[in-house]
Each structure stands twice: as structure tokens, then as C-alpha cells.
Structure 1
Amino acid sequence: MRRACLQLFFLICPVPGSIATMGLAESPMVVRPPLRVASHLAPGVLPLYTFLADYLAASIGRRAEFTVATSYERCAQDVDDLCFVCSVPYLLFAELGRIHMEVVAAPVLIGARYAGRPIYFSDVVVRSDSPYQRFADLRGAVWAYNEPFSHSGYIVVWHHLLSLDEGAGYFSRMVEAGFHSEALRMVADGTVDAAAIDSQVLAIELRDHPDLAKRLRIIGAIGPS
């Protein structure tokens, strides 16, 4: 069965109901299985996607069974009906013929910079008291990224460096943080100098943590993606 994926992709497929017959003289009773939903996205955006999962499940008369995935391998195991996932792991699995989901939607974020399109940016963030004013100032800096399968935090940064005829030596060191939220806190506490953060995740983090917002500054953006 082909299933579905939401990106920053959103993939979806029909969920068949199973029918149990209680007896020849009785009407069939439809047993509706839950809508199985997995998120591979940043923890900060989970409330949005759990709400969306519940809404979609209710619209087809089911309940949502929501899982926070711990591995992208889950995408290839054909265990979910709906998956919220970054584009990079989905495309890699699709290229290998290991995924049975289809992309059906991507979010359209609110804000003038998005212009009603399904795009987002990678905002380059430094400490508020940092001397860095633009990406070009970051040569030799310590850079944090969330994880190597992330488009917004990792892949797009390499693409940008290549567009500048630069490479791995541009930063003195690159540190894997695990999540965008952790990369932000590493910048804020001075463990690293800068990071590129998904603009949706950044907006939520700065809204929910005003003290963190005071300690950070955006010096540029890569994208749109």
C-alpha cells in the first residue's frame, strides 16, 4: 500500500477500515483503526502537528495515534499512514526505492517574507553581543547544526558555501547539536558562534522563550527553500 508523507513534507494515504462480522443475523460492525501519524520534525513544532493530526483523524472518523519518531528508518518501514518529515531523508529514501509514501502537502507559513508560498528560510543566528554582522564575517567561526539530514540546518549551508566557492575549511569547527532548539541554546551560551535555524522553528522558539530572544540576533538568511 502506498502511504503518505507531510514535509515540511506531508504525505498521506487512505486508511482502510477492517470489518468484523459478529454473526450472520447481525449487521457488520466497522472497526476503525487509528490514523497512525509520526513526526520527524523539531520538538518545538510538535503542538502544531499534533493538532493537525487530530484534525485530520477526526475528519475521517478516527482518532490519531501520534508517535515522535527516533529514526528516519521508520519512513521506510511502512508502519505509518501520515508522516511529517524534512525533505532530505524523504528524497534519499525515495531515490533508493525504499519508501512507499507520496508527498501531498507542505506548510504555507504566515508572514510577508513567505508571500503565500510553501517556502521557508534558514535564518543565520549569532549572540546578540557578537561582533558578527553578516555571513561573510563567520570565516573561522564555530558553527552548530542540528543534524546531517536537515535541509535547513545543514544541507543548505553547504550549498551556500559552495556558491561562495568555499568548503569545509570555512568554519574552524562544526558541532552537531541534535535539534535546532539545542543549536540555538549553544549559540546563546557561547558554546558556538552561529547556526542556521529553520525560520518556522526559530519564530516559535523566540516567541515561547523571550529571554532567549534577547540573547540572539539574526544576521542573515539563506533561502528561500
Structure 2
Amino acid sequence: MRTDRRGSLGLLAAGAVFPLVRPPRSRELRFGLTPVVLDDDRVLMEGLEGYLRRVTNFDVLIVRRRTYQEITTLLLAGQLDAAWICGYPFVQFRDRLELVAVPLWRGRPLYRSYVIVPADGTAERLSDLRGTVHAFSDPDSNSGWLATTAELVRRGEEPGRFFRHVFFTYAHRKVARAVAARLADGGSIDGYVFEVLREVEPELAARCRVLRRSPLFGFPPVACRRLDAGSEPVLRLREALLAMAEEPDGRAVLAHLRLDGFTAGTPDLFGSIAANARLVARALG
């Protein structure tokens, strides 16, 4: 049975922990990032921070954590103005979160989840992975946990019984590394991340093969608390993201991310993620 992460996050966000981010300074934008998009890339981080600082006219504090749960907790607790999260926590806390902007990849605010296997592996379909070791990225990731789990549930299965062993890497890139090194017989990964890996780490990507592509989902969004949706930092951030493709330094950041820009987006983009979340919650408790 899966832990009730919504309940535990609610307790944390309600103040059951000490503050994890220092109080905001005057005219400071606190922006959280999860491993859903960025790995350890200093040049990208500096470019993003510099662009946001220039366009918003706010000091910018980039906050990063290892897991989605940590960033979601900080966002819900009001210790971040906004965060680039995953569609799964967005739908879990839809009553408390609002969209700020949604990235455009290949012209659309959409992406897929992939199941990958070693390039020279014999598996041809998901059912061939029964009894194997599987790498997930994060228990609060749509592409790195929920999408595969929902597909198994639709087949009358669940990860704990279908796979011999599962583990979490807490980064999509590390899922690819685990599969390439044969630490796992398969892995669930963000399709956008894997396609970017084909460009930036082609030797790693070549050691993996895409076994299954999911239907399209809404791309991991930038979100804020509903209570903060009209605040100046959030409004300035939204303007900056929507204008990013029009600014030279913004285009440089987008090129690094292999994104085309940002759009306002609508919550219905995440309807299929919400449906999968309900399906899995009913099946696994």
C-alpha cells in the first residue's frame, strides 16, 4: 500500500516542521525547482536566475531540493512564491494550487512518459518486464511513477507484485543511468528528459531503448499557491516566463532547456494525470 503522501504533505505544510527557507527579503522572488526539469547544471541555473532577476526586477532566490515532496511542501507552506513542479502533485493539491505557466516543448504544452530498457535487452513489451528490477524516478512523479503504475493497475497488476524489485533514483537522468548500467532491467522516465539526453548525452541514451511511450500528458507546470496567485512576485514571474521566447537572454535559457517557450495553460491539460491518480488511489489505497 502506498503512503498517503497528500496527508503527510498537508501536515508538513501546516507547520509541523521548522521553516526550511529563510524569510523573504524585500522584493525577493523565491522560485523552487525539482529534478523534473533540471539536473546539476550551473550555467543553466545562472542563466535562469539572471533572466528572471532582470525581467521581474526582483532579487531571485532559486531553491532546489532532492525530491518533489520537499519542494511541494515548501510551496504549500508559503515558503516559495512559485515552483516548477510535476503534474502529479499539481492535481493532488489542485484545490490549493494555481497555474503560473506551462512550458512548450516541440510547440505544445505536452509530453509523454517512457519505459526504457537496456538497448540490447530482449523485452519487447511491458509484460516482458514481469519479475524484473525497475527504476522509478520519484514517488510523486507522473512520468517517473504514476503513468507506469496506472498502466499496470489497468492490467490488474501493481508494481510491488509485478516487478521483483523497485527503487527510486530521484532524478530522471539517473533512471537512464541505472538502466544503461543494468542496475535495473527497465525504468520509468520523463520522455522530454530522455529526448534531451539523446542530444546532450548521446552515449548514455544509446545504451537505452524506449519500450513504451505513454499517451500525452500536460507538461510539468510552474505553479503557485492559490492564496499567492495575485501577489506581485507571482505576477512578475508569469510575465517573465510568458515573454521568455521574446528576449535574447530568455531564448538562451530556453535553448539550454530545449524548450520553445511558456504558455498560460489551463488545468484541463492535466485531466488525464488526475484520472490516473484517482485510478491508482482506488487500487492501491
Give the superposition deviation at 1:62.
2.5
Rounded to whole Å, the distance in 1 between the matches of 2:27 and 2:133 is 48
What are the within-5 Å matches in structure 2 for residues 70-219 of structure 1? Answer: 70=66, 71=70, 72-95=72-95, 99=96, 101-110=97-106, 116-168=107-159, 169-219=161-211
Contact 1:41-1:86 within 8 A present in 2 as well: no
1:35 aligns to 2:29 (yes or no): yes
Contact 1:50-1:66 within 8 A present in 2 as well: no
Pair 84,48 (structure 1): closer, same or farther in 2 beyond 3 Å: farther
Contact 2:114-2:213 within 8 A present in 1 as well: yes
Rounded to whole Å, the distance in 2 between the matches of 1:222 and 1:119 is 12
Unaligned runs of 5+ in 1: 1-30, 111-115
Rounded to whole Å, the distance in 1 between the matches of 2:111 and 2:40 is 14
Rounded to whole Å, the distance in 2 between the matches of 1:126 and 1:145 is 12
Give the superposition deviation at 1:193.
0.4
Rounded to whole Å, the distance in 2 between the matches of 1:59 and 1:186 is 39
Question: Which of the two has greater strand per residue?
Answer: 1
Rounded to whole Å, the distance in 1 between the matches of 2:187 and 2:176 is 7
User: What are the Cα deviations for residues 154-211 of structure 1, in whole angstroms up to 9, with x where unaligned?
Assistant: 0111111122222232222211222111111111111110012101211222322122
Higher relative CO (Cα under 8 Å, sequence separation at least 6) belongs to 2
Q: Give me the CA root mean square deviation.
A: 2.4
Rounded to whole Å, the distance in 2 between the matches of 1:150 and 1:119 is 15
Contact 1:54-1:63 within 8 A present in 2 as well: no
What are the within-5 Å matches in structure 2 for residues 53-68 of structure 1? Answer: 54-68=50-64
> 1:79 is matched by which residue type in structure 2?
Q
Question: Which of the two has greater helix per residue?
Answer: 2
Matched residues, number = 186
Rounded to whole Å, the distance in 1 between the matches of 2:146 and 2:178 is 20
User: What are the Cα deviations for residues 77-118 of structure 1, in whole angstroms up to 9, with x where unaligned?
Assistant: 2122221111222333445xxx4x4212211211xxxxx331
> 1:83 is matched by which residue type in structure 2?
A
Kindly report structure 1 stretches of 4+ aligned residues shifted beyond 6 Å: none
SS of corresponding position for 1:129 = coil
Pair 49,224 (structure 1): closer, same or farther in 2 beyond 3 Å: farther
Pair 203,141 (structure 1): closer, same or farther in 2 beyond 3 Å: same
Larger Rg over CA atoms:
1
Contact 1:153-1:198 within 8 A present in 2 as well: yes
Contact 2:117-2:208 within 8 A present in 1 as well: yes
Pair 121,45 (structure 1): closer, same or farther in 2 beyond 3 Å: farther
Rounded to whole Å, the distance in 1 between the matches of 2:198 and 2:165 is 26
SS of corresponding position for 1:106 = strand
Contact 1:37-1:53 within 8 A present in 2 as well: no
| Identical residues among aligned pairs (%) | 26
> 2:146 is matched by which residue type in structure 1?
I
State the TM-score, normalizing by the size of structure 2.
0.59
* 56-65 or 122-131, which deviates more: 56-65
